[in-house]
Structure 1
């Protein structure tokens, strides 16, 4: 999909479909009023008949209005509020897109940037608008013998005031980079696990490195992980025929001496639970257990597209968790890269094991901040559902920066505590630490576990178990989150 931004008189605009907002109570905004005047009152006449109430997301398609060069005019309800919420605005944009996808025109022009959205300037409105449109156009059908019908709509133009043209253009460009990163993340998540394994992800990283001169890629295999003493990481992978990989992608966009931000992604390409086997129902969705790594990949794609002037290191902890005669057992004790020993009470708490060694590895980059992203705990879904990511950390400033980025990107997180009392649930009689802390506060004790390996730098942990994918039914699939949050955090650092 091509997105353009321009300023033009709406009444003389040539386009297949012109999208205009109409409020409840027959309220016409500036654009709708201009069209109504040019078309001899056609719009107000229809509204008087009650053809459109103007509620958020309602739509009415009009053809060949008099004195207009637009072939169609799509009226979309924007409700009665003077200022819309982000959610209302997204509903209006999504409703418009749902109609446009079914039309025959190859282009459309949207005037929705004239709407007032609470806390959003021209740049931020364009971001939300284009991200919603691009994300709504995502299709994953590469394994279907019958592909989706090609859509006629190829180009969408955002109409903006001349004074806001530059900000709207910048918002559109940033949104396209983020949306493309989300699409890459979704593709990786939706791939079947027989194809998307640790070696496949390593090949994707190598290809990205070849395409960008300022991106260095290093792949650490089993031998190198063993030399590093990554006993926890290797323990997860030892039951699988698929070899583990730690993927290191180092983007140098800032000054040489500038400390990097490090993103660490959990990349369990399939999680059976190991010897602590998961129930069979819904286990197919455990291909999404690598969505933390996929979201780091997607964020890097956005950074590369925008060529942000920062230094960024991406570490992907990739392995497959399978049951076999060689698999890790409950009760096994392993030594981590940090030297701490871990008693593995449950082999299904494997994400924290690959992450803990990767967090130790992150120390060598002398980072300004480290953020790990992981589909870590089902307990986070119980606590926060599928709308909000869980957030913990050892630095209040970093946590607040991520919370603020989530609000601005409309990809929100919520802070959970890491009080010392929770650490006691991880006590082990045989090792330095147990890998689970019992049934209570599962998301928090998982964060407590990781915190023990992140004491040398400012660190935050995003639990995206509820937000990384939609579960069950024909609509299941990866969401691309939290690429918007992470990219916004990096934009804020710039």
Structure 2
């Protein structure tokens, strides 16, 4: 799919479908008014019952006086309701209609009224990301592949003065959209395809395409020598060897401290000996969506070309029950030297992440952000709308929250107070891997915090937002690639050199 900026008079645009806006009570947006004038009042005549609600659409053929083959009248909603959600609803409706009529080209000429956002860059970037998301089709494991999309290009009509900014916006939006698609594809693949080794192969392949990116894979024997016995304990019951995937992007001088992203890559989670219930266990292929979002972010980064250094660390393992699997009550020694009592083998994400977070120390990072489908408790707390954010660094929290708002990839901060740490006390080890049913998301982050003392760190729990469970929408979402990308973009924007 090609996104482009188009300029010129709206009535002379040659395209298969021209999308213009209609507000409530039949009020035409400026571009729609120009079409109506060229068509001698035709739009006003046919609007009829179109109420102008956000996403409401009316397709017109052979509108007189213009060059476009079709015109799609698109409801803009009330002026005081034109927020990000309104904009998303409009883009979804536009793409649904475009796919239905099987046109090859379209131009969106909504005059920026799809939202009240006065940041043109942000608005166009979101339009690009969300339009791309509506075109994603999963068919990797189907015998009959999806029909090729007939839509080849989407243009955004802008004034000549805004064209350069528009090009920049859609370039960034396309990069982020590609990263989201990668994260969704990895998440949607079944556990017998997307194994730890498969993730490693994808990371190697990405590095081969980008000169600034290098990938190193640590095998189990290397992790054993480093003392990563917590990470290794998770994959003991699986025939699939665990991997530590390290991707290094160098966009700045070698002495510039990197930002580190750490992803939980449990490619299938049965719960181990603490076996999960059978219902919906198929969805545990999504337990590597933290790793998928980190890898998707790295792909986007190669296209964004940001002037900073970024390291991605993916702790990949498969959690299976077997005679040699970890048992409740087992004690393992982490890379940091701290010992952990495994009270529940289904609390395995923190066991792989803690060693990956210790490994991150060697990069002397500026910041570290880990991403994980870590706790069902986060879904209880925040539902399926917001990522849980936990950190002891207020500045990093503020940066991530601002980035989440800008990216329309929402996060909400939860407390990480010392009082919760006591729930992790163990009679037999330095720390237990669970803290009981109360505040499960917080105690999971408390566990991770014990391995992050040497740098600025934040934890993103994406258990509620990483995938959809129901009907045709079932599948990975690609969150929080937009949030992570904006977090990295903001580091460049705020750097002293700017």
Question: What TM-score do you get using the length of structure 1 for normalisation?
Answer: 0.98
Are 1:280 and 2:278 an aligned pair?
A: yes
Paired residue for 2:410, among 409, 412, 422? 412
> Quick one: structure 1 residues 395 and 139, their matched pair in 2 at CA, closer, same or farther if it must change by over 3 Å?
same
- Per-residue displacement from partner, 1:241-266 (whole Å, max 9, x unpaired)? 10000001111001221100000000
Q: Please say if residues 36 and 43 of structure 1, whose CA atoms lie closer than 8 Å, have aligned partners that are also in contact.
A: yes
- Secondary structure, counterpart of 2:471 in structure 1: coil
Q: Please say if residues 331 and 345 of structure 1, whose CA atoms lie closer than 8 Å, have aligned partners that are also in contact.
A: yes
Report the alpha carbon displacement of residue 486 of structure 1 after superposing the two structures with TM: 0.2
After TM superposition, the structure 1 = structure 2 runs for residues 102-113 of structure 1, keeping only pairs within 5 Å, are 102-113=100-111
Report the alpha carbon displacement of residue 121 of structure 1 after superposing the two structures with TM: 1.3
Task: Output the CA distance in 1 between the equivalents of 2:115 and 2:161.
Answer: 18
Residue 338 of structure 1 aligns with which residue? 336
Task: Output the CA distance in 1 between the equivalents of 2:392 and 2:219.
Answer: 30
Residue 88 of structure 2 aligns with which residue? 90
- Per-residue displacement from partner, 1:42-80 (whole Å, max 9, x unpaired)? 011123xx2311111110001111111111000000112
Task: Output the CA distance in 2 between the equivalents of 1:272 and 1:150.
Answer: 36
Task: Output the CA distance in 1 between the equivalents of 2:143 and 2:198.
Answer: 23
Task: Output the CA distance in 1 between the equivalents of 2:152 and 2:339.
Answer: 56
Residue 20 of structure 1 aligns with which residue? 20
- Structure 1, 6-15 or 442-451: larger mean CA deviation: 6-15
- Secondary structure, counterpart of 2:262 in structure 1: strand
Q: Please say if residues 462 and 480 of structure 2, whose CA atoms lie closer than 8 Å, have aligned partners that are also in contact.
A: yes
Report the alpha carbon displacement of residue 378 of structure 1 after superposing the two structures with TM: 0.4
Report the alpha carbon displacement of residue 151 of structure 1 after superposing the two structures with TM: 2.5
Are 1:6 and 2:15 an aligned pair?
A: no
- Secondary structure, counterpart of 1:474 in structure 2: helix
- Per-residue displacement from partner, 1:279-332 (whole Å, max 9, x unpaired)? 011000000000000100000000001211110000000000000000000000
Residue 388 of structure 2 aligns with which residue? 390
Are 1:370 and 2:373 an aligned pair?
A: no
> Quick one: structure 1 residues 384 and 412, their matched pair in 2 at CA, closer, same or farther if it must change by over 3 Å?
same
Residue 477 of structure 2 aligns with which residue? 479
Q: Please say if residues 86 and 114 of structure 2, whose CA atoms lie closer than 8 Å, have aligned partners that are also in contact.
A: no
Residue 486 of structure 2 aligns with which residue? 488
Q: Please say if residues 113 and 126 of structure 1, whose CA atoms lie closer than 8 Å, have aligned partners that are also in contact.
A: no
> Quick one: structure 1 residues 301 and 244, their matched pair in 2 at CA, closer, same or farther if it must change by over 3 Å?
same
Are 1:151 and 2:123 an aligned pair?
A: no
Q: How many residues align?
A: 492
Report the alpha carbon displacement of residue 83 of structure 1 after superposing the two structures with TM: 6.3
- Per-residue displacement from partner, 1:213-240 (whole Å, max 9, x unpaired)? 2212111111100000011001101111
Report the alpha carbon displacement of residue 448 of structure 1 after superposing the two structures with TM: 0.3
Residue 353 of structure 1 aligns with which residue? 351
Residue 307 of structure 1 aligns with which residue? 305
- Secondary structure, counterpart of 2:19 in structure 1: strand
> Quick one: structure 1 residues 474 and 25, their matched pair in 2 at CA, closer, same or farther if it must change by over 3 Å?
closer
- Secondary structure, counterpart of 1:99 in structure 2: helix
Task: Output the CA distance in 2 between the equivalents of 1:216 and 1:404.
Answer: 30
Task: Output the CA distance in 2 between the equivalents of 1:197 and 1:145.
Answer: 21
Q: Please say if residues 248 and 310 of structure 2, whose CA atoms lie closer than 8 Å, have aligned partners that are also in contact.
A: yes
- Structure 1, 470-479 or 13-22: larger mean CA deviation: 470-479
Residue 179 of structure 1 aligns with which residue? 177
- Secondary structure, counterpart of 1:28 in structure 2: coil
After TM superposition, the structure 1 = structure 2 runs for residues 88-487 of structure 1, keeping only pairs within 5 Å, are 88-115=86-113, 117-487=115-485
- Secondary structure, counterpart of 1:313 in structure 2: strand
- Per-residue displacement from partner, 1:88-147 (whole Å, max 9, x unpaired)? 011111111110001132101111243163344111110111111000100001222222
- Secondary structure, counterpart of 2:201 in structure 1: helix
Gaps of 5+ in 1: none
